[in-house]
Amino acid sequence: MTIAVNGRVDTVTAPELEAGLKFGDATCVVIDLANVPYMSSAGLRLLLSAHKTMLGKGGELQIANVQESVREVLDITGFSDILNLV
Amino acid sequence: MTFALSKFRSFLPAATFAMAAEFLMGLSDSIICGHILGETGLSAVNLMQGVFEIVTFVGMMVTVGTSVLFATELGAMHVRRAQGYFTLGTLSAVGFGLLTAAVLAVVRTPVIAAFGASQAVSDMAASYWLWFLPAAALQPVAFFLGTMCYTDGDARLSFCSYLAQLLGNCLMSVPLTMAFGAAGCAVGTGLGSLAAIVVLLFHFRRNGCMLGWSRHFIYSDFLKISRMSFGDASKNIGKAALMFALNAYVIAHFGSEMLPVLAVVVMTIGISEMFDGVANAAQPLASVYIGEKNPLLTKRVMYAAMKASLAEGCGVMLLLLAFPGLMLSLVGIDSPATVPEARLAVRIVSTALPSLALVLLFNSYYVFIGREKLSSIMTLLAVLGLPVVLFPLFGSRWGAHGVWTALGLAPALALVLVALYVLARGGRRGFPFLMPTDREAALRVFDLELDPASICGASASVGAHLGAQGVERRRASKAALLVEEALMVVHDRNSGKNIKAEVTVDLNDGLMLVIRDDGVIFDITDVDARVSSLRSYLVSELMTAIPSRRNLTTTGFNRNVFKL
C-alpha cells in the first residue's frame, strides 16, 4: 500500500494528514514524500506514530522519495536512523 | 497591528506621561508659588526658567547619548559595550549634577541682578535659587536613570518614578512653601527627585534587566555620548538662552508688570516638552532597528511617531485656541489688567505647537541616526535663532503682540528651512529620514499574532520569499522550519495570551533571521533547555545545527538572531 503525500506538512496540515492515514490490514505501507518540500515536528510526530503502529502489528513502514530539505530534518533529529527510508 | 507599532503604542502613554510629568514638575513650582505667593512668586519662579532649562540640559547631555548608544549596541548584540555606556553615563550624570549645582551657586547673585527685576521679585528668586541647588544635583541623575530604565523596557517603573517625583514634589512643596516661601518650594522639588531615584533602583531587581556595570568604555565614548546628547539637548540650551533674552527684553520694553503674561507664554511653549514623549517612545525601538541596520522597520516606527506628534501638537493647539483661559487658571492669573493680554498671547503662541512637535521629534531622530549637527541646527533655529531675530523685529513694530507672533511663527519657519535642506541633500527618496535606501530591497518583515495558522503561514511565506530570492531550497526550508518551530514554542509557552511576533529576513550579508516576540522572557537558543516534547527536541537540535545564533532580551522583549 502506497500513500502519496502532497505539499507542506506543518502544524496546521498534519492533523488533516493524520486523519487520512488509514492502513487497514496492510502489512507493508510506503509513504511517498516526493511532493513534500517541507516537514516540521508535527509531520515527524505523525511518521513516528505510523511507524509504531505498523511495528505493533508486525508490519513495516517505508518512507520513500524524501526530498533533501526534509531529509535534513530527519537527519538533525536522528529520525533517519529510526525510520525505514527507501 | 504590527509588532513594531504595537510596541511603539505601548511605550507611548508612559513616555508621554513621563514628559507631561516633567513639564508639570517644571510647572508645579510656578503653580504653587503663583497660588500661594501671588504674582510676585510666579514672576520669581519664571525668572528661574532658564535655570530649569540648564539643569534639564545637563541631564540630557548624558542621558540621550547613553540611551541611544545603549540601545544601538544591544541592537548589534554588543552587551558589554552597551553596559559600558551605561556605566559611563551613570558616572557622568552624578558628576555633571554636582558640577551644575556648584556652578549655579557661584553665578546666582550676578545673574539675578542682571535681570533687573523689581526688588521683591529678585529677593524671592534668590531664595528659591539657593534652595534649588540640591535639586539641581539630583535631577540629572533621576532623569538619566528614568530614561535608561525606560530604554531597557521597564516603561511601567519609569512611569511610577515620574509619578513619585511629581507627587513627592507637590506634596512636599505645598506645605514647605506655606511655611518657608519660595525656598520651601525649591526644597520640595529636590525631595521629589530623590523619591524618583529610590523608585528607579527597583529596576535592577527585575528579571531581564540589561542595565549593568561594565568597565568596557574608553574616554572617546564620553565624547560620543556628549556629541549625541548635545544634538538632542540643544533644545534646552536654546530655550534657556531664549528665556534669558525674553525676560530681559520684556522687562526692558514692557516693564515687570508684563512678566506674568510672559510666564504664561513660556508655559505654553513649555507644553511642547510633552511632545518629546513621542520621540522617547520611538527611541528604544528605532535605536535597536538602527543597530540592526534595518531602515524598513526604523521608518515604520518613525512614520507612526510623526503621526502621533502631529496629532498631539494639533490637539493641544486646538484646545488652547478654544480655551486659552486654562493656562491662566493654572497659575492663578485673574487680574483684569493681565487676563485679556495673556489670553491673546496663549492663542498666538499655541499655533507654534504642531511645528514644535515635529521639530522635537526630528531633533531626536537625527540624533538616533548620528546627524547631531543637523539636529542641533534645526532645533537651535526653531527655539533660539529665529525667535531671537524675529521677536525684537516684530516687537518694535507691533509691541508685545509682535513678540508673541514671532514665537508662534519661528518653529514653522525653521521646519520649512530644514525640510528644504533635507530635500536638497537626500532627494525625495531620502526625505525626511535621510536613511540609506540600498539595504531595503534585501529586507522583508513578517508580522503575526501567534496562533498555529498564522505561524505556519509566516513559515510558508518565509520559505517562498527565500525561494524567490534565489536562496537554495535546503536553506530556505531550514529558515521556514526555524520560524515555525521557534514561534510554536513561544506560542506554547504563552498559552492563552495574545502574543505578537515579528520575523525579519535580511539577505544583505548572507541569510539572517531576526525573530522577536513579546511573550515571557526566555532563551530559545539555549541548547541545554529542558526538552519536554518532540517540538522542543527539534528546536534544541536545530540550535545545535546553527552555530551563529544569539538571544538577547531587548527593551523588554525576546529577540533571537540567527545566521543560516
Residue B333: per-residue pLDDT = 82
- Most confident range (mean pLDDT) of B163-167, B258-262, B428-432, B482-486 is B482-486
Residue from the list A10, A48, A76 with its beta carbon closest to the beta carbon of B484: A10
Task: Pick the residue from chain B with its C-alpha nearest to A39.
Answer: B481
**Residues B501-551: tens digit of each pLDDT:** 999 999 998 899 999 999 998 888 888 878 888 898 898 888 888 888 888
Range of weakest confidence among B1-10, B138-147, B170-179, B224-233:
B224-233
Q: How confident is the model at residue B45 (pLDDT cuts 50, 70, 90)?
A: confident
pLDDT of B390 strictly over 90: yes
The single-letter code of the amino acid at B527 is: V
Residue B108: per-residue pLDDT = 87
Between chains, do A69 and B456 touch, taking CB under 8 Å as contact?
Answer: no
What's the maximum distance between 2 C-alpha atoms anywhere in chain B?
Answer: 83
CB B501 within 8 A of CB B450: yes
Residue bearing the bigger pLDDT, B237 or B309: B309
pLDDT of B473 strictly over 80: yes
Residue B277 C-alpha cell reads as 514623549
Q: How confident is the model at residue B420 (pLDDT cuts 50, 70, 90)?
A: very high
Range of the domain at A34: 2-85
Between chains, do A11 and B452 touch, taking CB under 8 Å as contact?
Answer: yes
Residue B42: per-residue pLDDT = 82
pLDDT of B141 strictly over 90: yes
How does DSSP assign B289-355, residue by residue? HHHTT-HHHHHHHHHHHHHHHHHHHHHHHHHHHH-THHHHHHHT---TTTHHHHHHHHHHHHTTHHH
Evaluate the CA torsion angle B397, B401, B407, B408 in order and state its sign: negative
∠ at Cα B288 (B282, B290), nearest 5°?
90
Residue B505: per-residue pLDDT = 96
CATH number of the domain residue A71 falls in: 3.30.750.24
What is the number of alpha carbons within 13 Å of residue B564 lying toward its C-beta?
24
Alpha helices in A1-86, H assignment, sequence order? 14-20, 41-56, 68-77, 79-82
3-state SS class at B239: helix
Catalogue the E-assigned strands of B74-124. Answer: none
Overall number of domains in chain A? 1
State the first-to-last Cα distance of chain B, in angstroms, to the nearest integer: 28
Residue from the list B477, B488, B534 with its beta carbon closest to the beta carbon of A44: B534
- Cβ-proximal residues to B499 (8 Å cutoff; 6+ apart), any chain: B449, B450, B490, B491, B517, B518, B519
Asked whether the ipTM of the predicted complex exceeds the cut of 0.90, the reply is yes
Q: Please state, in angstroms and as integers, the Cα–Cα distance from residue B358 to each residue in B138, B155, B348, following that order.
A: 30, 23, 18
Residue B260: per-residue pLDDT = 87
3-state SS class at B451: coil
Task: Pick the residue from chain B with its C-alpha nearest to A49.
Answer: B534
How far is B439 from chain A, CA to nearest CA, in Å? 29
CA distance B299 to A80: 46
The single-letter code of the amino acid at B217 is: F
Residue from the list A11, A13, A69 with its beta carbon closest to the beta carbon of B488: A11
Q: How confident is the model at residue B64 (pLDDT cuts 50, 70, 90)?
A: confident
Task: Pick the residue from chain B with its C-alpha nearest to A10.
Answer: B456
CA distance B312 to B249: 31
Q: How confident is the model at residue B46 (pLDDT cuts 50, 70, 90)?
A: confident
Residue A35: per-residue pLDDT = 93
3-state SS class at B424: helix
Residue B446: per-residue pLDDT = 96
Fold of B442-563: Heat Shock Protein 90 (3.30.565)
Residue from the list B474, B481, B535 with its beta carbon closest to the beta carbon of A68: B474
How far is A41 from chain B, CA to nearest CA, in Å? 5
Between chains, do A11 and B456 touch, taking CB under 8 Å as contact?
Answer: yes
Between chains, do B459 and A72 touch, taking CB under 8 Å as contact?
Answer: no
B535 contact residues in A (CB cutoff 8 A): 41-42
Name the stretches of chain A with pLDDT < 70. Answer: none
Q: Where are the domains of chain B?
A: 3-430, 442-563
Residue B118: per-residue pLDDT = 84
Q: How confident is the model at residue B367 (pLDDT cuts 50, 70, 90)?
A: confident
**Residues B201-225: tens digit of each pLDDT:** 999 988 778 898 887 777 788 888 8
Rounded to two decimals, the pTM is 0.78
- Checking B13-16 for CB contacts under 8 A at 24+ apart, the result is B14/B150, B14/B155, B14/B156, B14/B158, B14/B159, B14/B281, B15/B150, B15/B155, B15/B277, B15/B278, B15/B280, B15/B281, B16/B274, B16/B277, B16/B278, B16/B281, B16/B312
Residue A75 sits at the chain B interface (C-beta within 8 Å)? no
Q: How confident is the model at residue B112 (pLDDT cuts 50, 70, 90)?
A: confident
